[in-house]
Amino acid sequence: MSKNRIITPAPPNLPLGTDTYERRYQDQFTNVLRLYFNQLQNAFGELFGPDGGKYIAFPHIAASDNAIQYATAANTPTIVQWSSLDAGTGFKLNSDNTATAQVPGIYKITYSLQFANNDNAAHDALVWLRIDGSNSSNDVPNSTTIFTLQARKSALLPNFVCGYSEVVFTLKAGNTVGLWWGTDQAATSGGATGIYIDYQAAQTSPMAYPAVPSAIGSITFVSALPT
């Protein structure tokens, strides 16, 4: 074992048999098998031990974004943006803000969107999944969550809500999945007030804390597809 990785036992290199019985050959043959079975025992002992899960790598992806995100317009679906691939295997993060699965399975997406409302009235933000497309026919059934943001605190202080949820869904190899959102009142970079997904850089005053990403999300493997 090395760095939380189990070294796969190599098939034993069994010696060629002799025409007649030889004690030396039999001892060599037995010793090769003994060494091989010792490797198997060590590997399975680690894998099925108390912390054996640390040796198993499942398909997954984790991403985030470090920019303010605005909806295209009110009541208009807009894809959530991802600028940073934070971790992953078995997935590809695409330039259109979707992720392509390379391994079929049942997956769970967990996301956190830093919603903000700078309008002087309460508004809703909705978030859902789409697979292999950008219109409503590609929506994942029962994947929508509604987040209600109350009116702003003041003209300079928006109201914040962490839009957190998770959805379990199925992917085939080659499927692309995207996280989409919309709102009844969309803020814009031009100054119109409403809901947007906020980003804040790391701060040092009045206290130090890391940056606030506009979006954080991960997709993790739950199970193989039923046979």
Phi, psi of 12, rounded to the nearest 5 degrees:
-70, 140
pLDDT of residue 190: 81
CATH number at residue 143: 2.60.120.40
Give the pLDDT confidence of 179-213 residue by residue, as tens digits.
999 999 999 988 899 999 999 999 999 999 999 99
Do residue 122 and residue 219 come from a single domain? yes
Clarify whether residues 50 and 81 are in a common domain. Answer: no
Count the domains in the chain. Answer: 2
Dist CA 222 CA 90 (whole Å):
13
Per-residue pLDDT tens digits for 125-157:
999 999 999 999 999 999 999 999 999 999 999
Q: Are residues 79 and 188 in the same domain?
A: yes
Q: In whole angstroms, what is the distance from residue 35 CA to residue 9 CA?
A: 10
51 plus 129 within the same structural domain: no
Query: Mean pLDDT over residues 26-51, rounded?
Result: 86
Domain of 115?
Answer: 60-223
Query: In 192-204, which positions are buried (b, 16+ CB within 10 angstroms) versus exposed (e)?
Result: ebbbbbbbbeeee
Last residue of some domain: 10, 32, 56?
A: 56
pTM of the model: 0.85
Residue 3 pLDDT grade (very low, low, confident, very high; cuts 50, 70, 90): low
Looking from the CA of 109 toward its CB, the CA atoms found within 13 Å total 28
Together in a domain, 138 and 159 = yes
